[in-house]
Structure 1
């Protein structure tokens, strides 16, 4: 009897001990991707000098850039400017109408930048009234445009913006979008703040849709500020990472589980130069 009890206790202890991989991760950083920045963060800087702005980005330690060449700069030249500073362009963006009408031109621009992903961040609709008809238009455009991009060696991804969480049947119009786009041609980028703003659960949705997600936009939302399903809010509600409502440890743990390799900080405040170092320090402070 005592022997059986001892064996049972030993078996239980073995079950609750951390696995070798878990033990190895203890103390490691939660943020495991190269440090990335979204172009929109520096929207107020390009006019003061492209190379001057890129120097700021380099000095902050960013290694990946998501976006296109600023106005007046050729994509190949912009790619060289970034490469000279040790920064790559894994991902760029395109407007919905561009994806819908001329995806080959979108692919050509992406290839000139050296990008492997093209992101679309907005589906046309009446503010606050995203509908099934809007979703159906997007499904057709994304499936067809994504196919052309794949034929050019590029992955298309839709950037979630929060208005897609309108209720629909047993879920939301976001669920409807995901279920009716072809995984071969359409991947997803989660903007964690806009997902939260629209009523979605970032960590839960990462888990639910797994490898459909290929990248993240990281930004935080001011505690207690009002939320809705417009996908629009003022810059005053964008705060440094770790100072707002989002649960970044949970988000990053789930992102790591599903293998997301590209995460871009996007600061939409009007104080990005002061906010970015705080966001970077916060990310670096997070540990398993």
Structure 2
């Protein structure tokens, strides 16, 4: 009897420790190519070797100078790096979505993200948001018909107040969920919307978030609606304002499929390994 009780007690402790040690960050390691914007133009193959060496198996990007898209894809494949997402300019989506589709298919990307809506200065208006909704709905439909999902990447300037929410709320609510999804850039969400905004948006719009830029904003920085901040304010993930355990947990529930570390600092070769180490510790 005592032996059975001891075994049950030990089993309970084991299960408790297993639950306690359950990993939060279980996504494949992904990185945004802009992180290595200084390295790619110098030597794209060496840069891909660095990316592989850091342990990344997913890349969000669109090729490199001096290489065709086919060659870039082949070099990524040779290193075990897939390209689930690539970028597209707003003007490309507006004028020639089929060209965007062709590029994405060469790279093997299932997602296309747009990271900027054109507007004058720091004044992002309702008219700008309305135009974006129109372009995203039309282009998103064409992309979806060709097996690709369009995602808009927020950039902080969309948090201008509008009615009972913001212009980002307007864009999310007015775009068709069948054709338009979103990529949350956590730094810009913090910068434009405040410390609680990433968690709030993931809870508010489940199913709309498919991608995430894992990027942290320096503690103590009060953001604004410019969509710009000095590079020094981009810090290793886990050292800034992001509530990362909550963000990753809610991201999974909301439907985020791929996460990409992005570092816009001038210290990416130091910061990125620190971000990887932190995410692995979650």
In the superposition, the TM-score normalised over structure 1's length comes to: 0.90
Once residues 34 and 19 of structure 2 are traced to their aligned partners in structure 1, the CA distance between those partners, rounded to angstroms, is 33
Counterpart in 2 of 1:237? 233
* Structure 1 CA distance for aligned equivalents of residues 59 and 16 of structure 2: 31
Residue aligning to 2:245: 249
Equivalent-residue separation in structure 2 for 1:196 and 1:22 (angstroms): 34
User: 1:225: how far off?
Assistant: 2.2
Runs of 4+ in 1 over 6 A off after TM superposition: 21-24
Deviations 1:184-221 (A, max 9, x none): 11000000110010015101101110011001001111
Does residue 272 (structure 1) correspond to residue 268 (structure 2)? The answer is yes
1:37 to 25, 31, 38: 31
Residue among 177, 183, 188 paired with 1:189: 183
The C-alpha deviation readout for 1:68-111, integer Å capped at 9, x for no partner, is 00122111111110111111000000000000110000000000
Q: Considering only aligned residues, what root-mean-square deviation do their CA atoms show, in Å?
A: 1.5
Q: Which stretch of structure 1 is more off in the superposition, 252-261 or 43-52?
A: 252-261
Give per-residue Cα distances to partners, 1:218-269, cap 9 Å, x unaligned: 1111111231011111111101011111111110111122232200000000
Contact (CA 8 Å) 2:101, 2:146: kept in 1 or not? yes
1:222 matched to 2:218? The reply is yes
In 2: Cα distance, 1:125 partner to 1:25 partner? 48
Give the superposition deviation at 1:48. 1.6
Q: Who is 2:255 aligned against?
A: 259
8 Å contact 1:32–1:256 — kept in the other structure?
Answer: no
Mapped contact 1:159–1:189 kept (Cα < 8 A): yes
